[in-house]
Amino acid sequence: MGETRTDAQRLSDLLSAGHRLVTIHTAEEGEAVEAVLDAAHGARLPCYRWTRTDGLGDASLASGPADEQTARPEAALAAVRNLPQAAVFVMCDLLAHLTDPLALRAARDALTHVSLMGGHLVLVDAAGDLPLPLVTHASTFELSMPDREELEQIAKSTLRSFQNGGGLNIDLRKSAWGALVDNLAGLSRRHARQLVGEVVALDRALTDDDVDALVERKRELLSSSGPLEFVRAPTSMDSIGGMANLKRWLEERARSFDDSAEAFGITPPRGVLLLGVQGAGKSLCAKAIATAWRRPLLRLDAGGLYDRYVGESEKRLRDALHQAERMSPVVLWIDEIEKAFASAAAQSTDGGLSKRMFGALLTWMQDHREPVFLVATANDIAALPPELIRKGRFDEIFFVDLPGDAARRQIWTVHLEKRGRDVAKFDLDALVAASAGYSGAEIEQAVLGSLHRAFASGKEPDTAMLAEVTRASPPLSVTMEEKIGELRAWATGRCVPAE
């Protein structure tokens, strides 16, 4: 592999190829302007920077007096048009002003002049769309994210600054340090420095526990209203009842992403499909994977992908998958995948949209190289396209059945302790017997229902109350017995039991 090229080098290539209008969409304005300035110097061209507050000035100067004469966008663009030499002009937050016809006209005239002179116009904006008259002239440039080596250097330099500023206690295992650096992936350089600083600032110490704290802060930082949603996973595998086979599978592959595993000849796992009874714990399995591997959990809201405009839905899916790659290493969870691509398994009723979306997902599953582990959950086998469940799409297909006796005992223990009850005061054998055929979700609801009843009557819940509340609500295994039987029959010999 060749040496990784810097943003300035890649941008210099773009300018050398004759691209006269370049757009950079980023919140990291400082990094973008620095890359443009370096590229301009490499091309031996003067570089000017414009903002609404400072006007047009020399980009190489860190600060300077504001030029009121070129503060207005149309005035700045007129100054660009009057400069009788080739130059690079980096305009910050200009897009918002191009809704004004006068400013748009000035931008078009400035671009014509810049092109004739052999210069370049670079627009740096955190948000906004390029007006249609400029779209065909523009080339998009994307700032690179720091790779693992750079992130490790950023983390070390941040820690050194704390040590130099009054001492820092570092008590971190090598594996935990690797996990911390891995979980900085998907962050900008500024955010990486910020998060490392935050986890050590309060106690001026760095320990294994700070890895989980960093993952949580990353989740908060990157949460958005888009189709990708960060999901909080349990802090310990002990809080997840049952799933013995799945837990063993995860434990065996916990180090599969290390460099030593690759040298051993191991290919990192890429994903699992979880089939099973509704409410039996498939969602909890997705969280278990994120917990076991100490990775952030991203949930893809498939319903948020669909748009009425032609081509927009596919673009949203591609953008969401690309965003997951940039945030890697992560666990990407698609819940009830059969509903997300319902028409892909049958005669299309949506003009082929679901089939195209499904095809885009399959292509990504086959081709992506970033450490994104896909977890897909499904309740309805009949609605799944055959291409999804053929061998090779997933590393394994697990069947999540209703919990057995041992798993139900553990589930009762988890939910009683979670709500501050002493498990020793309850007859777990009786509760296990009373909840035969119940899912983990139904057992949790029985605990909650008992607490409500006990609170209303002014006393503590006991075994008899828990058993009574449990039996009062028939489980899904009774109300949907035939469908669950069909699901179990299909899974026999085709799936690995999660329990």
On the question of pLDDT at 408 being above 50, the answer is yes
Assigned token pair, 187: 């962050």
Angle at 399 between CA 397 and CA 400, to 5 degrees: 135
Instruction: Provide, rounded to the nearest whole percent, the portion of the chain with pLDDT above 70.
Output: 91
pLDDT for 76 equals: 96
pLDDT band of 483, cuts 50, 70, 90 = confident
- Distance, in Å, from the CA atom of 177 to the CA atom of 196, rounded to the nearest integer, reads 12
pLDDT for 226 equals: 61
Q: Hey, which residues does 161 pair with through a beta bridge?
A: none
On the question of pLDDT at 81 being above 70, the answer is yes
Q: Between these two residues, 323 and 378, which has the higher pLDDT value?
A: 378
On the question of pLDDT at 314 being above 80, the answer is no
Domain 405-479 of CATH type 1.10.8: yes
Q: What is the mean pLDDT of residues 248-257?
A: 88
Q: What is the mean pLDDT of residues 24-53?
A: 93
Beta strands of 41-86 (E only): which ranges?
47-51, 55-58
Architecture of the CATH domain 231-400: 3-Layer(aba) Sandwich (3.40)
Q: What is the DSSP string of 360-393?
A: HHHHHHHH--SSEEEEEEES-GGGS-HHHHSTTS
Instruction: Provide, rounded to the nearest whole percent, the portion of the chain with pLDDT above 90.
Output: 41
pLDDT band of 472, cuts 50, 70, 90 = very high
On the question of pLDDT at 346 being above 60, the answer is no
pLDDT for 301 equals: 76
- Distance, in Å, from the CA atom of 291 to the CA atom of 193, rounded to the nearest integer, reads 24
Answer whether 95's CB lies under 8 Å from 123's CB. Answer: yes
Assigned token pair, 352: 């082929």
pLDDT for 223 equals: 62
On the question of pLDDT at 350 being above 60, the answer is no
CATH number for 148-222: choose from 1.10.10, 1.10.3470, 1.10.8, 3.30.310: 1.10.8
Cα 142 from chain centroid? 18
Answer whether 267's CB lies under 8 Å from 479's CB. Answer: no
pLDDT band of 145, cuts 50, 70, 90 = confident
Q: Between these two residues, 63 and 327, which has the higher pLDDT value?
A: 327
Find all residues with CB under 8 Å of 367, minimum gap 6, and list them.
Answer: none
CATH superfamily of this structure's domain 7-140:
P-loop containing nucleotide triphosphate hydrolases (3.40.50.300)
Range with the poorest average pLDDT among 120-124, 211-215, 268-272, 347-351: 347-351
Q: What is the mean pLDDT of residues 119-143?
A: 91
Q: What is the mean pLDDT of residues 333-347?
A: 70
- Distance, in Å, from the CA atom of 246 to the CA atom of 289, rounded to the nearest integer, reads 9
- The CA distances from residue 179 to 33, 161, 330, 333, 409, in Å, are 32, 21, 12, 20, 33
Answer whether 192's CB lies under 8 Å from 214's CB. Answer: no
Q: Where are the domains of the chain?
A: 7-140, 148-222, 231-400, 405-479
On the question of pLDDT at 343 being above 70, the answer is no
- φ/ψ of 171, rounded to 5, equals -135, 80
- Distance, in Å, from the CA atom of 234 to the CA atom of 288, rounded to the nearest integer, reads 7
Q: Between these two residues, 74 and 324, which has the higher pLDDT value?
A: 74
pLDDT for 310 equals: 47
pLDDT for 290 equals: 85
Q: Between these two residues, 311 and 328, which has the higher pLDDT value?
A: 328
Answer whether 438's CB lies under 8 Å from 446's CB. Answer: yes
pLDDT band of 235, cuts 50, 70, 90 = low
Q: Nearest CA to 419 among 377, 454, 381?
A: 454
On the question of pLDDT at 1 being above 50, the answer is no
Helix and strand element counts for the chain (H, E): 22, 15
For residue 334, count CB atoms less than 10 angstroms from its CB and return exposed for 0-12, middle for 13-18, buried for 19 or more.
buried
pLDDT for 349 equals: 52
For the chain, what is the mean pLDDT? 86
- Distance, in Å, from the CA atom of 344 to the CA atom of 29, rounded to the nearest integer, reads 42
- The DSSP symbol for 2 reads P
pLDDT for 153 equals: 94
pLDDT band of 62, cuts 50, 70, 90 = low
Assigned token pair, 221: 């930082």
Cα 86 from chain centroid? 42
Domains 7-140 and 231-400 agree in fold: yes
- Distance, in Å, from the CA atom of 494 to the CA atom of 399, rounded to the nearest integer, reads 9
- Distance, in Å, from the CA atom of 179 to the CA atom of 152, rounded to the nearest integer, reads 11
On the question of pLDDT at 422 being above 70, the answer is yes
- Distance, in Å, from the CA atom of 399 to the CA atom of 408, rounded to the nearest integer, reads 17
- Distance, in Å, from the CA atom of 36 to the CA atom of 30, rounded to the nearest integer, reads 10
